[in-house]
Amino acid sequence: MTQPTERVFSGIQPTGDIHIGNYLGAIKKWVEISERYDSIFCIVDDHAITVDYNPAKLPRMVFEAALTGMACGLDPQKCTLFVQSHVPEHVELTWLFNTVTPLGSLFRMTQFKEKSRNALYKAIAKKEGEAQSSALYQIKSLGDATVKQLTALQPDLTALEPEGQPDEALIARINDGLGGLMQKLQVGLGVSEASAALFDYPVLQAADILLYKATLVPVGEDQEQHLELCREVAERFNRKFGDVFPQVHRIPGEAPRILGLDGKQKMSKSLDNHIGVLDEPKVIQKKLASAFTDPQRIRRSDPGRPEICNIFSLHRYFTTEGKREELEQGCRAGTIGCFDCKKELAGNIITAFEPIRNRADTFRQNPQLVIDALEAGRARSSEIASQTIGEVHQLLGLGRRALGQMQK
**Would you please indicate which residues are annotated as catalytic (active-site) residues?**
115, 266, 269
85 secondary structure, DSSP code:
G
> DSSP letters of 292-311?
---TT--STTSPP-GGG-HH
Q: Is residue 270 at the binding interface for ligand AQP, with CB under 6 A as the rule?
A: yes
CB of 14 to ligand AQP, least distance (A): 8
Any contact of residue 313 with ligand AQP (CB under 6 A)? no
What are the beta bridge partners of residue 218? Answer: 251
CB 227 to ligand AQP: min, Å: 10
Number of C-beta neighbours around residue 132 at 10 A: 14
CB neighbours of residue 395 within 10 Å = 16
Stretch that binds ligand AQP, among 6-14, 150-158, 276-284, 321-329 (CB under 6 A): 6-14
Site for ligand AQP in 31-90 (CB under 6 A): none
Both ends of the chain: CA-CA distance in Å?
49
Q: How many helices (H) and strands (E) does the chain have?
A: 17, 5
The number of residues in the chain equals 408
Distance CA 172, CA 175 (A): 5
Q: How far is 21 from 261, CA to CA, in rounded Å?
A: 11
Task: Based on the shown chain and the rule CB under 6 A, indicate whether residue 269 belongs to the binding site for ligand AQP.
Answer: yes
Nearer to ligand AQP, 230 or 392 (CB): 230
Q: How far is the CB of 131 from ligand AQP (least distance, A)?
A: 26
Distance of alpha carbon 89 from alpha carbon 22, whole angstroms: 26
Give the residue among 20, 113, 74, 15 at the shortest CA–CA distance from 313.
20
Q: Which residue is nearest to ligand AQP (CB)?
A: 25
Per CB under 6 A, does 22 bind ligand AQP?
yes
Give the nearest distance from C-beta 24 to ligand AQP in angstroms. 6
Nearer to ligand AQP, 140 or 257 (CB): 257
Q: Name the residue nearer to ligand AQP (CB basis): 32 or 302.
A: 32
Backbone angles phi, psi at 82, to 5 degrees: -150, 175
In whole angstroms, how close is the CB of 376 to ligand AQP at the nearest point? 22
Among positions 203-262, residues that touch ligand AQP (CB under 6 A) are: 219-220, 222-223, 255, 257-258
Q: Rounded to whole angstroms, how far apart are CA atoms 90 and 158?
A: 47
Beta carbon nearer to ligand AQP, 21 or 76: 21
Query: Can you tell me the distance from the alpha carbon of 30 to that of 224, in angstroms, rounded to the nearest whole number?
Result: 17
At residue 287, the 3 state secondary structure works out as helix
- Complex with ligand AQP: residue 236 or 266, whichever CB lies closer: 266
117 near ligand AQP, rule: CB under 6 A: no
Kindly tell me which residue out of 7, 8, 9, 15 binds ligand AQP, with binding defined by CB under 6 A. 15
13 makes contact with ligand AQP (CB under 6 A) = yes
**Site size for ligand AQP (CB under 6 A):** 20
26 vs 229, beta carbon nearer ligand AQP: 26
Segment holding 41, helix H or strand E: strand 38-43
Under the binding rule (CB under 6 A), the answer on residue 266 touching ligand AQP is: yes
Q: Which of 18-26, 84-92, 134-142, 306-314 is the region at the interface with ligand AQP (rule: CB under 6 A)?
A: 18-26
Eight-class DSSP state of 398: -
Q: Which of 34, 268, 273, 381 binds ligand AQP (CB under 6 A)?
A: 268
By C-alpha distance, which of 86, 73, 90 is closest to 34? 73
User: How many other CB atoms sit within 10 Å of the CB of residue 339?
Assistant: 12
Of 15 and 116, the one with the shorter C-beta distance to ligand AQP is: 15
8 Å CB contact between 7 and 40? yes
* Region binding ligand AQP by CB under 6 A among candidate stretches 19-27, 86-94, 126-134, 195-203: 19-27
| Binding site residues, ligand AQP, CB under 6 A | 11-13, 15, 21-22, 25-26, 219-220, 222-223, 255, 257-258, 266-270
